[in-house]
Structure 1
Amino acid sequence: MTKKPSRSLPEIRLAGPDGLPKYLQLKNALAEEIAAGRWEAGEQLPTEDILVEASGFSLGTVQRSLRLLVDEGVLVRRHGSGTFVARRRHPLGGPFRHFRFIDDTGEGILPIYTSVLKRFPVQEAGPWDAILNSRQIVCIDREFSINNEFSLYVRIYFCAARFPELASIDTAKLNGVSFKDLLSRKYHQPAASYTERMSVQPLPAFVIEALKLPRGTVGARLDIVATDQSGDAIYLQHAYVPPNGHQLLMQD
């Protein structure tokens, strides 16, 4: 659960040489406090009015400092909730087959940063059993940050007997890793084809909680099945996409 910001005034020791603009002094001070663990990943910063009172700077100066830290990926803003310390992000290498969101120029693809949220064995029966032809199913849940602007919740189902390393490897080593490339390189099982389906629905509670979205948010769910050259499914992937201002490129 996200910690609520304290209403007490934080002690802010301004950083930087004399003559440095106030917004940079405050930006550096906040960055140093975050690096030192004053505010942990996922924790909410004090509100802007509290930072104004604590620093003695104007609201515009505070907002400019926070905006710089957001641009650098140190902080993230969540509409209607506040400003939070960003989780550590790991860039996902391309070329991409899925989740290609177009930038504001209409020509480039926004960078993707990934982090593993959890891994767990699937106990309940479901369509994944028939798709993967196995009852030894393991899930890995990841957050895909799209250019630190918004995040997807991506859940991948795979057979633990077929890919035992994925079921036991330190999940930190999977941050920033393309599973498609890993399975092709490690197990020599490249995906030959994909089946993709999309639906629009209220996002599940576990997605709402993980991505800090308003309750009842409606988004898209992409169901992706990767198959090998024999037509056998390699993995099943569910990607939950919240509303955002970017187009998703669907063509190969």
Structure 2
Amino acid sequence: MTRNDALAVAVDKRLPSYVQLRDTLAAKIARGDWKPDVVLPSENQLAAETGLSVGTVRKAMQMLVDEGLLERKQGTGTFLSKRAFHASLFRFFAVTTADGSPIIPKSRLIARARIAAPAKVARLLDAEDCIRIDRVRSHSDQVLLTEEIWIPHHRFPGLETLPEAEIGPLLYPLYLDRFQVFIANAVDEVSFARASGSVANRLGIAPDDPVAVIERTAFAADGTALEWRVAQGPAERFRYRSRLT
């Protein structure tokens, strides 16, 4: 499979051409070569650059759409997907309007610092030099979650001193817009524990009250771990709903 040098990355040549192209395009997404809110090259453009058929390019692009990395906007083109990971923690602590529409809780920063990560986080992120962010999420003056977030400093330089007004309530769009870091997917692990004194104080509950604990690891398209966070909320508010079809 021939390629323009701008698209060249190491891929497994034993794979079908459309899968090789999918891997090449996913690597471009992970590197930040494509910017947010900018239309991506058309299938015809990519076919011309790679020497592949339009049908092969279409299959590769559709794989990325199916995986949630890209989204098609009718009449406009194809863009990086901005999947609503910011809301997904709240499937466990649902907040809705009277008609059942989801509400995105407010965010308040408690602390930010560039510090050495604990061993577990350093191994996961492959970086000891990290930024720690502490914040709470609330609605109608009721704290729903407290979060401890770790990110590698070399991928997010300066975030620890960025004015709070420039951060806003949603981190993943900030990662993409300010640092060209695209969160492709995330894994949540749920458990239950007793609230520590500091967590209880933030949540407005008693120490040792039960809390739901959601540990999340967020990844780039190439599988690199970019963020680790732990969110804790009152167990009595925890809900989980699954539909089997």
Question: Do both proteins adopt the same fold according to a TM-score greater than 0.5, normalized to the shorter chain?
Answer: yes
Q: What residue number does 2:186 align with?
A: 194
Q: Is the 8 A contact 1:98 1:250 kept in 2?
A: no
AA aligned opposite 1:167? E
Q: Deviations over 1:140-198 (max 9, x none)?
A: 10010034344210111011122012122134543x33111111122222111111101
Aligned mates of 1:209, 1:159 — CA distance in 2: 28
Q: Is the 8 A contact 1:198 1:222 kept in 2?
A: yes
AA aligned opposite 1:156? I
Identity of aligned residues (%): 17
Highest RCO, 1 vs 2 (Cα 8 Å, sep ≥ 6): 2
2:107 to 110, 114, 119: 114
Q: Deviations over 1:216-251 (max 9, x none)?
A: 111111001110011101111110111344635689
Residue 99 in structure 1 maps to residue 90 in structure 2: yes
Q: What residue number does 1:140 align with?
A: 133
Count of residues in Structure 1 that have an aligned counterpart in Structure 2: 158
Q: Is the 8 A contact 2:212 2:238 kept in 1?
A: no
Give the 3 Å change call, closer, same or farther, for CA 95–122 of structure 1 in structure 2.
closer
**Regions of 4+ moved over 4 Å:** 248-251
Q: What residue number does 2:149 align with?
A: 156
Q: Deviations over 1:100-141 (max 9, x none)?
A: 414375832134011100112344632110111001022110
Aligned mates of 1:250, 1:192 — CA distance in 2: 23
Pairs within 5 Å for 1:222-237: 222-237=214-229
AA aligned opposite 2:174? L
Pairs within 5 Å for 1:211-250: 211-245=203-237, 247=239
Q: Deviations over 1:19-43 (max 9, x none)?
A: xxxxxxxxxxxxxxxxxxxxxxxxx
TM-score, L = length of structure 1: 0.55
Pairs within 5 Å for 1:9-20: none
SS state at 2:215 partner: strand
Aligned mates of 1:179, 1:205 — CA distance in 2: 26
Gaps of 5+ in 1: 1-92
Q: Is the 8 A contact 2:136 2:147 kept in 1?
A: yes
Aligned mates of 1:163, 1:115 — CA distance in 2: 20
Aligned mates of 1:138, 1:94 — CA distance in 2: 20
Aligned mates of 2:239, 2:161 — CA distance in 1: 36
SS state at 1:200 partner: strand
Give the 3 Å change call, closer, same or farther, for CA 122–202 of structure 1 in structure 2.
farther
Gaps of 5+ in 2: 1-83
**Aligned-residue CA RMSD (Å):** 2.7
Aligned mates of 1:97, 1:182 — CA distance in 2: 17
